[in-house]
Amino acid sequence: MLKNISEIKNPVARSVTTAGVAFSAVTIISSLVIGVVNPKGQSAHKFGVYASLIGTGCGILVGLVACSKITEAESLQNSSEGQESNPGSHIWQDWRKFVVVRKVRESKEIISFYLKPEDNGDLPNFQPGQFLTIKLDIPGEAKPVIRTYSLSDYSDSNEYYRLSIKREPMPKGLDVMPGIASNFMHDRVQEGSVILAKPPSGKFVLDVHHSLPAVLISNGVGITPMLSMAKACSHLNPNRPLWFLHGARDGRFHAFRDEVTAIAQQNPNIHVHFRYSRPLPEDAGHYHSVGYIDVALIKELVGQEAEFFLCGSPPFMQSIREGLQEWGIPEGQVFFESFSKGGKAASESQPPATAIGEETKEAEIVFAKSNKTLTWREGDGTILEFAEANNLNPAYSCRMGICLTCMCGLKAGEVVYEEPPTGTPDEGSVLICISKPKAPKVILDL
Ligand SMILES: Cc1cc2nc3c(=O)[nH]c(=O)nc-3n(C[C@H](O)[C@H](O)[C@H](O)COP(=O)(O)OP(=O)(O)OC[C@H]3O[C@@H](n4cnc5c(N)ncnc54)[C@H](O)[C@@H]3O)c2cc1C
Ligand code: FES
């Protein structure tokens, strides 16, 4: 009851409701008591009247103070989880079962999967740009396949999560298997299938409440986080100017064209530009220019101070990042996410926190927060694998040095990366999914 009342936003209405409830409750109880006891004197009836008045007064106070404390506590909890308020939502732990309730083709290569929790529980909100980590049991694979996919939709109702997945073919000229998870999702996962997912996560997020204009730049399947960003901004801060620039080969490969156009039609502060590299005759009227998205186009369209968000193929990201740097855009205003390895700007200014090179043969690893000191030996794999084998449970998603989920403070010692990380870890931190100890003693904030 108190919780229902606490959801009334207006403090006067909340207070009047609580007072009414308290008055009714005390009056009914006093009447019952007087009726049962049947006292002779007037004092008992006076007591009933006073009790009702005191109850009403307490109700007013509870409505004003206690309920607002509950609301405050709830909103604090939500904001600490980085969420917009969504009463009743909760972050689940580890893996949760989701049912694919809809499967929709978005383009020649991309299919969307709408997911609802099998337990019919609440879905916590997420920050626009975040991803889900999913786990698939794929026949023929020795262990479950874990991949990360950006959440490609955003709505206030939060009835489902949507992932939009591009089928990864085998690379040209290489005799290797096509992409394991994406092909499985396209070919074998149907409406009614159940997949496991971890809670939304990721640091490539748009703070919709910033005042600087936001420029969302993507190509190919890199459009997925941009969609949730554009939709969230349009819902939560429609006054923020936003540019949505997207590159595709032609209309067949252009997912979400109508969805993006519809967002812009509802909000005059959202400007859309689609650029096709090889448009087909039937694409006429559906794109704005021909070529590849470049900084010349961005300057021409935006031409003012802004925050830039990039997601797309490695060469695309590299060229745009370099162009923005040459244009003089401060690094702090450029945010990017890679879906695959590679794609570092040639002039990467932040040096890697650790060296690339030979790992040591044996090392003592101190997991400081877990209060465990263990001996790592050659063959124990990455620090993440070693930690897992020793019953520690560090956070991870991509396991490829891209998403930064496994980032961890390095308090002492040195580690080596198996390969250069694609994501840029914070200074003094390392990505344990792709690193091994280099120094004989390594202390991690884990
Ligand atoms: C933060 C984040 C968000 C993401 N969001 C999305 C999203 O919204 N949508 C989306 O579609 N993807 C997204 N991805 C990418 C996604 O996680 C997967 O990496 C992608 O689907 C490929 O997985 P796969 O299992 O199909 O391919 P994999 O099996 O991992 O293979 C990848 C590619 O490598 C090739 N390959 C296989 N073996 C070799 C070999 N020996 N040598 C060379 N090449 C080889 C395959 O043919 C394939 O082309 C995201 C990634 C990250 C990190
Ligand atoms: S798990 Fe993604 S960077 Fe380590």
Pocket test for ligand 1, best of 113, 136, 147, 154 (most atoms within 8 A of CB): 147
182 exposure class (CB count in 10 Å sphere: 0-12, 13-18, 19+):
buried
Q: Where residue 294 sits, what CATH number does that domain have?
A: 3.40.50.80
Residues 327 and 368 in one domain: no
pTM of the model: 0.76
Which comes out higher in pLDDT, residue 242 or 394?
242
Pocket test for ligand 2, best of 203, 338, 339, 402 (most atoms within 8 A of CB): 402
> CA-based Rg of the chain, rounded to a whole angstrom?
28
Atom of ligand 1 nearest to the CA of 181: 25
Q: How far is the CA of 242 from the centre of ligand 1 (A)?
A: 29
Q: Which residues of 259-285 are buried (b: 16+ CB within 10 A; e: fewer)?
A: ebeebbeebeebbbbbbbeebeeebee
**Domain closes at, from 145, 172, 197:** 197
Put the strands of the sheet holding 242-248 in their side by side order: 289-290, 270-276, 242-248, 214-219, 307-311, 334-337
Residues 47 and 104 in one domain: no
Residues 26 and 66 in one domain: yes
> Measuring from atom 13 of ligand 1, which residue has the nearest CA?
149
Contact 163, 150 (CB under 8 A): yes
Q: Which of 223, 222, 253 is nearest to 108 (CA)?
A: 253
d(CA 287, CA 277): 10
Ligand 2 site, CB within 6 A: 396-399, 401-406, 423, 431, 433
User: Which ligand neighbours the alpha carbon of 336 most closely?
Assistant: 1
Residues 329 and 369 in one domain: no
- Quick: pLDDT tens for 75-119: 323 333 333 334 345 788 889 999 999 999 999 999 999 999 999
CA dist 95 → 92, 152, 166, 196, 336 (Å): 8, 20, 23, 6, 27
Contact 200, 132 (CB under 8 A): yes
Whole-number percent of the chain with pLDDT over 90 = 63
Ligand 1 site, CB within 6 A: 131, 147-150, 164-166, 168, 170-171, 174, 176-182, 202, 221, 224, 337, 339-340, 398, 402-403
Residues 223 and 328 in one domain: yes
- Quick: pLDDT tens for 121-164: 999 999 999 999 999 999 999 888 889 999 999 987 889 999 99
Q: Looking at residue 319, what is its pLDDT?
A: 96
User: Which ligand neighbours the alpha carbon of 398 most closely?
Assistant: 2
d(CA 330, CA 222): 23
Three-state DSSP at 164 gives strand
Contact 414, 439 (CB under 8 A): yes
d(CA 62, CA 59): 5
Atom of ligand 1 nearest to the CA of 110: 11
Provide the CA 142 distance to its chain's centre, in angstroms.
Answer: 29
Q: How far is the CA of 401 from the centre of ligand 2 (A)?
A: 5
Q: pLDDT averaged over the chain?
A: 85
Q: Which two tokens stand for residue 227?
A: 């969609």
Q: How far is the CA of 429 from the centre of ligand 1 (A)?
A: 25
Asked, for residue 345, whether it belongs to a domain, the answer is no
Asked, for residue 363, whether it belongs to a domain, the answer is yes
Straight-line distance from the first to the last Cα atom of the chain, in angstroms, rounded to the nearest whole number:
42
Residues 369 and 407 in one domain: yes
Asked, for residue 296, whether it belongs to a domain, the answer is yes
Residues 168 and 253 in one domain: no
Total domain count for the chain?
Answer: 4
Provide the CA 229 distance to its chain's centre, in angstroms.
Answer: 10
Asked, for residue 51, whether it belongs to a domain, the answer is yes
User: Which ligand neighbours the alpha carbon of 422 most closely?
Assistant: 2
Structural domain of 76: 2-80
Three-state DSSP at 252 gives helix
Q: Rounded mean pLDDT of 214-234?
A: 98
d(CA 65, CA 317): 52
Pocket test for ligand 2, best of 399, 415, 446 (most atoms within 8 A of CB): 399
- Quick: pLDDT tens for 299-350: 999 988 999 999 999 999 999 999 999 999 999 999 999 898 754 443 344 4
Contact 333, 215 (CB under 8 A): no
Whether the predicted pLDDT of 352 surpasses 60: no
> Measuring from atom 3 of ligand 2, which residue has the nearest CA?
401
Q: Which residues of 291-311 are buried (b: 16+ CB within 10 A; e: fewer)?
A: eebbbebbeeebeeebbbbbb
Residues 38 and 66 in one domain: yes
Atom of ligand 2 nearest to the CA of 422: 3
- Quick: pLDDT tens for 3-54: 445 445 445 555 566 666 666 666 676 666 666 666 666 666 665 667 666 6
CA dihedral 431, 435, 440, 445 (to 10 degrees): 20
Three-state DSSP at 226 gives helix
Atom of ligand 1 nearest to the CA of 152: 8
